């Protein structure tokens, strides 16, 4: 067992866990944060994406131990309680969600993109989402939603 201390969705976490536990299992099974999805379990699909120090990270390929001292954001922490992040709101309004299995990872990748590039082109948006696969939407509505979210964020006072 190892001891870990990290920030999770803005709150400090201290716990003990197995040294070989994957981050996705720590989040979903031990901490009950099932918004993070696991699909391929092999680094191929992006469904398990979380943010680590603001950057997208595949939690199925990350050991929980690698969270030590880091700031983690899962989909549960993307927006304040009772509100949607502009990316989430745009996904809903633009029909960018179908089965929804890819959506948490997509939304976190998109939020990270907009944090570093507030006005991405469609091409830059597609590149930023290259690691997030969606079997339902055909991607066009997702790209449109992210561009709408960028416009909404830029219009905020
Ligand atoms: S579940 Fe992690 S990349 Fe697919
Ligand atoms: S909405 Fe179904 S996988 Fe993307």
Q: What is the pTM of this model?
A: 0.95
Give the atom of ligand 1 at the shortest distance from the alpha carbon of 60: 2
**% of residues, the chain, pLDDT over 90:** 94
| CATH numeric code, 2-77 | 3.10.20.30
- For ligand 1, atom 3, name the residue with the nearest CA: 43
Q: What are the tens digits of pLDDT across the range 37-60?
A: 999 999 999 999 999 999 999 999
| Ligand of minimum distance to the alpha carbon of 56 | 1
Residue extents of the structural domains in the chain: 2-77, 86-155
In short, whether 43's Cβ falls inside 6 Å of ligand 1 is: yes
| Ligand of minimum distance to the alpha carbon of 46 | 1
Q: What are the tens digits of pLDDT across the range 25-41?
A: 999 999 999 999 999 99
Among 68, 69, 45, which Cα is nearest to 56's?
45
| CATH numeric code, 86-155 | 1.10.150.120
């Amino acid at each position: 067992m190892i001891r870990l201390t990290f920030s999770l969705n803005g709150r400090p976490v201290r716990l003990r866990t197995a040294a070989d536990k994957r981050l996705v299992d720590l989040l979903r099974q031990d901490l009950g944060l099932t918004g993070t999805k696991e699909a391929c379990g092999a680094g191929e699909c992006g469904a398990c994406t979380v943010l680590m120090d603001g950057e997208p990270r595949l939690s199925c390929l990350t050991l929980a131990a690698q969270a030590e001292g880091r700031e983690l954001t899962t989909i549960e922490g993307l927006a304040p309680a009772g509100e949607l992040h502009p990316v989430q709101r745009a996904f809903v309004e633009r029909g960018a969600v179908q089965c929804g299995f890819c959506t948490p990872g997509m939304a976190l990748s998109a939020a990270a993109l907009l944090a570093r590039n507030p006005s991405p082109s469609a091409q830059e948006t597609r590149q930023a989402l290259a690691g997030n696969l969606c079997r339902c939407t055909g991607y066009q509505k997702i790209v449109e939603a992210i561009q709408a979210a960028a416009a909404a964020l830029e219009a905020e006072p």
